[in-house]
Amino acid sequence: MADDPKTLVSTEWLAAHLGDPDLRVLDGSWYMPDSGRDARAEYEAGHIPGARYFDIDEISDQRSSLPHMAPPPEKFISRMRALGVGDGHQVVVYDGMGIFSAARVWWLFKLMGKTDVAVLDGGLPKWKAENHPLEDMPPVVRDRHITVQRQSHLVRDVAQVAAASKLKDWQILDARAAARFRGEVPEPRPGLRAGHIPGSMNLPFMELLNADGTMKDLPALQAAFEGAGIDLARPVITTCGSGVTAAVLSLALERLGHNRHALYDGSWSEWGMYPDLAVEKG
């Protein structure tokens, strides 16, 4: 894999740069509510040296009834300053699954206009498997100024997605498992209908990953998108259950040099809730 500090870096790259003064490592672990895992407790028990915990649920727009919607810029600024993350830093985000929620944090930084941010390929499982160091000490944090400029073209709301579903000017790609996409199993969040956005296509995010949790190489990524029916010459809206794994699709598109993609932040947590929005099954 070619390391790219704007998308994806290897554990070897991170190990070599861990002492860099302008490197900031974030633990962006987040788990489904029914997983039985506690991301913050796992972080406190052991994390990559110097890593700070990025709480996806807390660093969000808590005025919304939807889970972990993108925070307003001023909240993002205050939370990043508290973590000692600011202008001039190279950020690397990892999670406890391999590549799962770290991509959501990567996308949030992109949304705020910060581009020097990468996901750790293979995440904490690969780091541990290679016997790289861990620590349980809280990092020493120094406040750092951060400027943000929200990139509105990277996010879509329900009205924009409904228009895309009707007009078909943007392709809609769903990262959920195939059985959820087809509406064959109930949604993990109560009260949501089963199925998918009319006209959307399905590429379960796991199909972009190797068995060890690393992202597939570029030819395999391209084949996966094309196999799902995506025309890589046209723009794509990514979606999923609650806007987390959709970012894995967005990260893979960015790896392929496809930069006309946007993420539906409300995702199925929003679409599946409203009875006046059409749902397809099968």
d(CA 100, CA 204): 12
**How far is the C-alpha of 264 from the C-alpha of 132, rounded, in Å?**
36
Instruction: Look up residue 112 and give its two tokens.
Output: 């705020």
d(CA 17, CA 251): 22
Q: Can you say how many angstroms the Cα of residue 72 is from the centroid of all Cα atoms in its chain?
A: 17
Q: Where are the alpha helices (DSSP H) in 121-208?
A: 123-129, 158-167, 178-181
In the residue annotation, 41 being an active-site residue is answered as: no
Residue 204 CA to residue 160 CA, distance in Å, equals: 23
Catalytic residue among 8, 14, 99, 240: 240
Largest Cα separation within the chain, whole Å, is: 53
Pairwise CA distance, residues 208 & 54, whole Å: 24
Q: What amino acid positions are annotated as catalytic residues?
A: 240
